[in-house]
Structure 1
Amino acid sequence: MATQSQTENLTLVEAVRDGLHTEMERDDDVIVMGEDVGENGGVFRATDGLYEAFGENRVIDTPLAESGIVGTAIGMAAYGKRPVPEIQFMGFIYPAFDQIVSHAARLRTRSRGRYTCPMVVRAPYGGGIRAPEHHSESTEAMFVHQPGLKVVIPSTPANTKGLLTSAIRSPDPVIFLEPKLIYRAFREEVPDESYEVPLGEAAVRREGSDISVYTWGAMTRPTLEAAENLADEGIDAEVVDLRTLSPLDEETIVDSFKKTGRAAVVHEAPKTGGLGAEITATLQEEALLYQEAPVKRITGFDTPFPLYALEDYYLPEPARIEDGIRDAVGF
């Protein structure tokens, strides 16, 4: 008799840890490394217990040197390991940017396929937790722009484990950004066993007929809340959670737009050069004749991420999302 799948009620950060543990148990080549990931269990406790389970040779506490962490991981990946380096906050990733875009993203091309770089760079990203400067960045668009990189941002615990599993098994480098605002915001049933959520596939979180709203990460929950609030006004919004920003699931994006004829994009990154612009351009190129209104971008502002007093104002919240959707629908 087949045994039933077991589940646990996990937060998003617990799903990260579960995904890492499951893959490390399955594959001895998976190595976790970064600042304080070992004995301390990570700044958000995402790696708690891994050091005790797998030892210092597979859970490696590194010096405070992001370029060195990622550069070392690239060398490991080139020779067959599957390193998962952690950058404590996305705002600390810039010293490693050169290693990521000049080497990790180019290794397959540079070596004409002789080497690949199966590496996952994990980093908590985004605002909302009253953190100091450099702790709240949302600069995913910089990595989406780089050929050779995959960029993944989960929004639920179950998706987090499955997407992280797929990222670790990918033959090419993945930037895996974890929305720390919702690390412990809610729980969800997550299967105990190993499973994959395919990279490059968006998820329609709410079906609708009046407007397509595209979002990801921590902005998925306030977008869904806004959609439910607007339903009382007779506005039926479809919410699409991209999950993978590169490669972008253009088919799901365009199909949704063809159904509704209107669109909005919600992200906490600054507006200029953000992924909302790429989604807007894709809709113009692929479905212009279906368009009934300008695409509305509901985003952060073109400023450095503010400190505490203005943090809630900076991030799109349900009321601002609702206003943007009303503008698009009422055009």
Structure 2
Amino acid sequence: MNDRTYHIPVMLQACIEGLSIKPGGTYVDLTFGGGGHSREILKKLDSGHLFGFDQDEDAMANAPEDERFTFVQANFRDLKKYLRLYGITEVDGILADLGISSHQIDEPSRGFSTRFEGDLDMRMNQADPLTAAKLLNSAEEGELHRIFGQYGEIKNAKSLANAVVRSRELSPILRTEDFVGLLERYAPRGKSHKYFAQAFQALRIVVNDELGALTEMLEQSCSLLKKGGRLVVMSYHSLEDRLVKNFINKGKFHGEVEKDFYGNLIRPLQPISRKAIVAEPTEVAQNKRARSAKLRIAEKR
């Protein structure tokens, strides 16, 4: 499968430049997908090595046949464990392009998109037991209220949760079109597409424990990076970006940054740019996914 049809990388050159690649270095692409970022990294390596992580087995078909590349089918929350299996205890750079790939969105059977009819699946790793349908049909009303409000930032989350519970008592909500049909009755006038996306995002985040995995990955990245090594993370919604921003700027996810006796900030990473990098208007026009992307780059102190 062509990597451009599988997934179009956002801000590709900015990501590669952010890694500040050394030809003999060791790098990790935590979201391999179509392999677009990995192929660009390999162009800059000679004696170096690249590890590409992806929990979705579909991505394995895009792995390049290159002795400098190793594909690891695993969730990036297990980054440290799998690298240790290959004898790697420190790396020069880590790249993560968060969220879902274009391939996952455009495959109706995966259930990620409101545009297609299909099973409400939403698993990035299809060996995992929890699907979006199972979550919708088994979670208590209070839990659904929390999920829609916290992860979808939906204003009428309580009403929607109640509607889901009443609807599933009559008939299970098993397919994307079932859920969209329910959502249509609660979406604000003129903003239905955004509302659908928020509700689907909320389910996807919980099904894949995306924020938990991101938190674990960020914590592991600090101990893996060599001094001067780079962390490059691109996120697509505020919940992800807030975690990345806080960790880079404060060395933790909540609270204020700590200081030493002399007033120096105690944090393992140094931000390379004060603000998040965003895509140019020309790229956004060509790739809608770039519209919400925020790129943050940090260096190990």
Tell me if both proteins adopt one fold, taking TM over 0.5 as the criterion.
Answer: no
More strand by share: 1
TM-score (norm. length: structure 2)? 0.31
